[in-house]
């Protein structure tokens, strides 16, 4: 599906504002949704399962990722099974490690063998991509989320890393690479150019999708007009 101006990368909305999610559910460019406990806490969500069911009632079967929140691997398994029962379009997010840095690969492998659709999250390093791919060997459909924006925050160019991550996943057609934590709309174009399957876009970035491919002269004129209008509205005089 071409989602905007010739781009084929799938756009998933990332957030936890229920009203915003319901509004975006009417946008045909949005092919899925992701959230996490941090976003939910910021949005004031106090009933995890109740919020999840409200989202699932309105997204029309599009994939939605909900994350476990235990730091204990056995409890992660239990939470994953419970979350997976919420719907056939649910992907369960499993962090790549626990908070002590211990790999969750064994948990991922068990859940994949149980037929649960997973979203392995919090990945930044290519070795983590390799480990996730191996653990997801038995998966029927899962997502590997690499936080490209956080890679960029360390001063590294995320594009070569994401490109290599795609190569790692290429022998596993049941797995999709997700470009997580974008910082600007340019990331949508970058993800598309390398053939990344999915990119999450936050609610504040989504309106900028319409600017992809615009004439730079048009954007320049809009900028000049904005400065002029704001000066007039402020009543500045010299």
Q: Is the pLDDT of residue 6 over 90?
A: no
Q: Residues 123, 132: contact at Cβ < 8 Å? A: yes
Find out whether 86 and 111 touch, Cβ atoms under 8 Å.
no
Q: How confident is the model at residue 129 (pLDDT cuts 50, 70, 90)?
A: very high
Catalytic residue among 10, 93, 109, 208: 93
Question: Which residues fall within 8 angstroms of residue 47, CB to CB, at 6 or more apart?
Answer: none
* Per-residue b or e along 18-42, where b marks 16 or more CB atoms closer than 10 Å to that residue's CB: bebbeebbeeebbbbbbbbeebbee
Going by pLDDT thresholds of 50, 70 and 90, the confidence category of residue 150 is very high
* 7 pLDDT higher than 80: no
Question: What does the pLDDT read at residue 202?
Answer: 87
Rounded to whole angstroms, the Cα distance separating 177 from 142 reads 9
Q: What is the pLDDT of residue 125?
A: 98
- Give residue 204's pLDDT: 86
Express each pLDDT in 16-66 by its tens digit: 999 989 888 888 999 999 999 999 999 999 999 999 999 999 999 999 999
Strand partners, 67: 93
| Residue 93 annotated in active site | yes
pLDDT above 70 covers what percent of the chain?
Answer: 97
Provide CATH code, domain 10-211.
3.20.20.70
- How large is the average pLDDT for residues 80-88? 98
- The C-alpha atoms of residue 39 and residue 42 are separated, in whole angstroms, by 5
């Amino acid at each position: 599906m071409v989602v905007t101006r010739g781009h084929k990368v799938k756009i998933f909305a990332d957030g936890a504002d229920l009203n915003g999610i319901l509004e975006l559910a009417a946008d045909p460019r949005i092919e899925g949704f992701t959230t996490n406990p941090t976003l939910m806490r910021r949005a004031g969500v106090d009933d995890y399962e109740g919020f999840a069911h409200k989202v699932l009632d309105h997204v029309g079967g599009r994939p939605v990722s909900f994350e476990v929140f235990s730091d204990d691997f056995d409890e992660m398994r239990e939470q994953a099974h419970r979350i997976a029962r919420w719907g056939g379009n649910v992907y369960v997010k499993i962090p790549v490690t626990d908070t002590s840095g211990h790999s969750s690969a064994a948990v991922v492998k068990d859940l994949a063998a149980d037929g649960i659709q997973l979203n392995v999250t919090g990945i930044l390093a290519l070795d983590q991509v390799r480990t996730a791919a191996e653990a997801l060997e038995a998966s029927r459909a899962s997502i590997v989320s690499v936080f490209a924006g956080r890679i960029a925050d360390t001063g590294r160019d995320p594009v070569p890393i994401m490109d290599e991550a795609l190569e790692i996943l290429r022998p596993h057609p049941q797995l999709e690479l997700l470009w997580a934590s974008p910082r600007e709309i340019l990331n949508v174009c970058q993800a598309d150019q390398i053939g990344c399957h999915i990119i999450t876009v936050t609610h504040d970035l989504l309106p900028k999708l319409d600017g992809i491919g615009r004439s730079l002269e048009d954007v320049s004129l809009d900028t000049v007009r904005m400065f002029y209008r704001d000066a007039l509205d402020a009543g500045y005089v010299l």
